[in-house]
Amino acid sequence: MSGAPPLCHNWGVNPTVQAQPSGVAAEGLPFWMLWLLLCVILLLVAFIFLRDKDLRRRISAFLSGARRHMTRLRIQAKLKREREKKTALWRELGKQAWDEDIRADCIGDQCAKLAGLDEEIGRHQKTWHDVYSRIEVLGREHDEAVRRFRELIAEQEEARRPHQEEMLALAGKKNEILEALEAALREAEAAEAHLTAVGKDARQIEGNPRLADPDRAARLDKARAKAAHLAALLASLREKTPRLQDERYRLEQRLEEVEARVRVFNAAIHRLEEEYRDRLQTREREIREWQKAKERVQDKIVDVKRLMEPLFETVGRILDETRFDHEELAVVYFQIDGVNRTVADLESRLEHLK
């Protein structure tokens, strides 16, 4: 059994042939033979189709029905557009008759209704103009109030400006005085400490027995000279400090006065801002309310005009049926006749497609 050939799932197929790539044809079936067989099959199908009249009839009926259905849909869409165009021409005819003040007996009822709606539009338009005029007046008053408010604020700011500049200058000088005063106090404190140390050194020199008299005398002279210099410096600093303190107090007093003036102007500006803010906000709310009223009147006018549209259409249809003779209506009559011919042609084509 170990020497038996291996089993193959595809019985009768040579394993070497099975391993060939799919793009290479088998040795017994070339490509041209395959195409030849396909052409023969197509010729047989065509031959059967040409001989079978019933099959040709059914296919032709199916294709013809589909064409008729598509044609009918296109004609129906065109017919709908033409009828809408005719309705629009009726409305145009009715509007033109109303504008030309045509009052035929056949449209007397419709003209009476249109006259009532037209009077209503006139009333709404008068209201609209009154509201618009009121909005313009309020707008001018608002702009004038804003201009006046800005002028008053500018006046207060201009009057406040020199005091603000003086306040800034005084604050700068005050800082300089404070820095000089702090420096003088620190220097005086250091000089006093140094003077105390020099006095201590002088006492130690006097009590030192190991120093010779000439050496002791020289050191004492040097210490006394240094002490005298420090004492003079300390006296100068103590004299300078009160002047700086006085100047500081004077600057602080002047600065308080200037700051009080600036606060007065700031309070006036704040009072103006509050007053005009309330006044301007009230005026702006009033303007918005009037604008809403104007929009409501505009909506009413649009609604009434919308009510007139079907009446215009009815008037135009009646005039088209009666063909009321008027030279201003002849052009619209001509356009309606063209639409009627198109509609009749489309309806006739639909009848033939049934």
Classify residue 315 by burial, with Cβ atoms within 10 Å: 0-12, 13-18, 19+.
Answer: buried
Average pLDDT over residues 237-256: 79
48-63 per-position pLDDT tens digit = 766 666 656 666 655 5
Helix boundaries (H) for the chain: 15-18, 31-51, 53-99, 108-206, 213-322, 330-353
| Concatenated DSSP letters of 92-157 | HHHHHHHHTT---GGGHHHHHHHHHHHHHHHHHHHHHHHHHHHHHHHHHHHHHHHHHHHHHHHHHH
* Least confident residue range of 166-180, 204-218, 240-254, 294-308: 204-218
Average pLDDT over residues 335-350: 90
The whole-number pLDDT of residue 310 equals 92
Does residue 217 surpass a pLDDT of 80? Answer: no
* Least confident residue range of 139-153, 181-195, 241-255, 259-273: 181-195
The whole-number pLDDT of residue 62 equals 58
The whole-number pLDDT of residue 25 equals 43
The whole-number pLDDT of residue 353 equals 73
The whole-number pLDDT of residue 309 equals 93
Residue, of 224 and 245, whose pLDDT is higher:
245
Does residue 18 surpass a pLDDT of 70? Answer: no
Q: What is the pTM of this model?
A: 0.55
Does residue 23 surpass a pLDDT of 50? Answer: no
Does residue 27 surpass a pLDDT of 90? Answer: no
The whole-number pLDDT of residue 208 equals 67
The whole-number pLDDT of residue 171 equals 86
Specify the 3-state DSSP secondary structure of 8.
Answer: coil
The whole-number pLDDT of residue 200 equals 73
118-157 per-position pLDDT tens digit = 999 999 999 999 999 999 999 999 999 999 999 999 999 9
Highest average pLDDT, of 143-152, 223-232, 320-329, comes from 143-152
Banded pLDDT at 16 (limits 50, 70, 90): very low
Average pLDDT over residues 3-19: 40
Residue, of 17 and 216, whose pLDDT is higher:
216
175-206 per-position pLDDT tens digit = 887 877 777 777 777 767 776 777 776 677 66
Please answer whether residues 220 and 198 qualify as being in contact, where contact means their C-beta atoms are separated by less than 8 angstroms. Answer: no
* Other residues' Cβ atoms within 10 Å of the Cβ of residue 314: 18
Q: Pick from 176, 341, 336: which is nearest to 244 by CA?
A: 176
Residue, of 213 and 183, whose pLDDT is higher:
183
The whole-number pLDDT of residue 13 equals 39
Mean pLDDT computed over every residue of the chain: 80
